[in-house]
């Protein structure tokens, strides 16, 4: 099973890795290194994109280290990163639904 945050990031077009290398247009064109982005950075960007899709989507503090993700008729409580991941997946799934119960491919 894929990590929900990575799946949400992929579906929202959020980069999960950072890279370093020569300037664009240089002759070598090869990357020097690639490394994973911090999960919290990915979660913040995924949340911003999810809210762009659904203005009702939000993540709010609930209690110590627990956050509540919510969208119309749905809520989920967990740590920040997991709450964002589940919200983002829900928002993306709703966007893929064409309105008559079918998912676009």
Q: If you write DSSP's letter for every residue of 39-99 in order, what string do you get? A: HHHHHHHHHHHHHHH-TT-EEEEEETTEEEEEETTEEEEE-HHHHHHHHHHHHHHHHHB-S
- pLDDT 10s digits, 3-15: 999 999 999 999 9
Residue 86 lies in a domain: yes
Q: Does 47 fall in a domain?
A: yes
74 occurs within a structural domain = yes
Residue 62: domain span: 4-96
Token representation of residue 85: 């991941």
| Number of folded domains that form the chain | 1
105 belongs to a structural domain: no
CB-CB contact of 13 with 49 (8 Å):
yes
pLDDT given for residue 23 in this prediction: 67
Average pLDDT over residues 47-70: 96
CB 40 within 8 A of CB 23: no
* Domain assignment present for 27: yes
Q: What is the pLDDT of residues 21-58, one digit of tens each?
A: 776 666 666 768 888 999 999 999 999 999 999 999 99
Q: Is residue 23 part of a domain?
A: yes
- What is the C-alpha to C-alpha distance for residues 89 and 66, in angstroms, rounded to an integer? 19
Burial class (CB in 10 A: 0-12, 13-18, 19+), 29: exposed
In a domain, 104, yes or no: no
In this structure, is residue 54 part of a structural domain?
A: yes
């Amino acid at each position: 099973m894929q990590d929900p945050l990575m799946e949400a990031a992929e579906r929202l077009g959020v980069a999960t890795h950072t890279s370093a290398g020569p300037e664009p247009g240089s002759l070598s064109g090869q990357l020097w290194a690639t490394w994973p982005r911090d999960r919290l950075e990915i979660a913040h960007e995924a949340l911003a994109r999810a809210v762009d899709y659904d203005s009702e989507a939000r993540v709010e503090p609930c209690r110590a280290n627990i956050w509540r993700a919510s969208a119309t008729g749905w809520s989920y409580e967990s740590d920040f990163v997991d709450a964002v991941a589940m919200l983002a997946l829900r928002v993306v799934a709703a966007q893929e639904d064409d309105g008559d119960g079918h998912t676009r491919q």
